[in-house]
Amino acid sequence: MTLQVLAFALAALLMLGGAAVVALTKDLMRLVVGLGVFLLGVAGLFLYYGHAFLATAQVFVYVGGVLVLVVFAVMVVHRASGGRPIVASRHDIGAAAVAFGVSGMLVMSLRGSVGGWLPAPGASGASIAEELLGGHLVAFESLGVLLLVALVAVLVIIGSGERR
């Protein structure tokens, strides 16, 4: 097994695991963490295909920004008497059949356009990042890491408060 296949498999497993957590969990904070894992897997696929700038933007905008907004939305959502968020989960077989059908059609229609299942990664994303951010690229990435750490801290604080 080559390193490229291993990298692709890791990104795919992150995406599948995160999507499974989102689809099957009833705890709202675990759902948010599953969404974050899925989005990190998408960033991994961007890296695999050689688009480092898109991977960086994925982590900063979606993992660092959108998930923070989701966490704040969870904090203000309507709560039951015990303090836990009220979430109604409806899993039905019709929705699952439609989701699998649409996924199958997408895979079959896009299979030929990517040049195979495991194309070789390129290096086209670095020049876009340098062009847009110039000398501020390191500061921009550091800020994104700081936002990601803040998100994890919020999750830890909220999770420790629920156990009491």
How far is the C-alpha of 24 from the C-alpha of 131, rounded, in Å?
42
Distances (CA, A) of 139 to 51, 131, 143, 145: 19, 15, 6, 10
Q: What pLDDT sits at residue 26?
A: 77
Q: What pTM was computed for the model?
A: 0.56
Which of 17, 52, 41 lies closest to 124, judged by CA? 52
Q: Which CATH number, 1.20.140.10, 1.10.10.10, 3.30.1280.10, 1.20.120.1200, labels domain 3-82+96-162?
A: 1.20.120.1200
Can you give the residue ranges of every domain in the chain?
A: 3-82+96-162
| pLDDT tens profile 27-82 | 778 888 899 999 999 999 888 888 888 888 888 888 888 888 887 777 776 666 76
